[in-house]
Copies of this chain bind each other. A is one copy, B any other.
Amino acid sequence: MAEIETRLRELGLPLPAPIRLPPGVLIRFPWVNVRGDRAFVSGHVPLAADGSLAQPLGRVGQEVTPEEAYGAARSVGLAILASLRTELGDLDRVVAWLRVFGMVNTAPAFRAYPMVINGFTDLILDLYGPERGRHARSAVGMAGLPFDVAVEIEAEVLIRP
């Protein structure tokens, strides 16, 4: 019955195309690594609809506003859902969110990382509800992120094998 897909449609949230990395970037790891009932989600970045890196790039509190960063974290969430759908076939196979590690590309004086990563948490709770969507979380400031993205998130989820 594709519950999560239905919910995404109700909310008017299309998932982005698979990530298209900038030319010359070679990666040899999967976006989601499924092992038994555990799915390890690699660090994802904000994507535009076509799978290219979403704008704006840069440090939060400098080139990127806190509001844009909240949107970037939400965009990372949609990118992760797209990878999970590709890997699992069906987003309903995610039976529980476990751990979320939220990383913010930070300007020297910016500290409101929890507010930024709420963009991700709000999305997951809206889609999966408080029981399945519940996740432990850290939201912290990084000295830099790949491609100078504003937000990167990695996670672990429990799946129906």
Contact = CB atoms under 8 A, between A and B. Distances in A.
A27 B121 CA distance: 9
Contacts of A30: 134, 136
A140 B144 contact: yes
A145 interface: yes
A32 interface: yes
Given A143-B143, A146-B111, A42 B137 contact: yes
Contact of A113 (B38, B99, B111, B144): B144
A114 B42 contact: no
18 contacts: A28-B118, A28-B121, A29-B135, A29-B137, A31-B136, A32-B136, A35-B98, A40-B99, A99-B156, A104-B144, A108-B143, A111-B145, A111-B146, A113-B145, A136-B154, A139-B146, A142-B142, A142-B143
Rank and list the top 4 A-B pairs by shortest CB-CB distance, nearest first: A141-B144, A43-B138, A40-B136, A33-B136
Interface of A: 25-33, 35, 38, 40-43, 96, 98-101, 103-104, 106, 108, 110-115, 118, 121-122, 125, 134-148, 152, 154, 156, 158
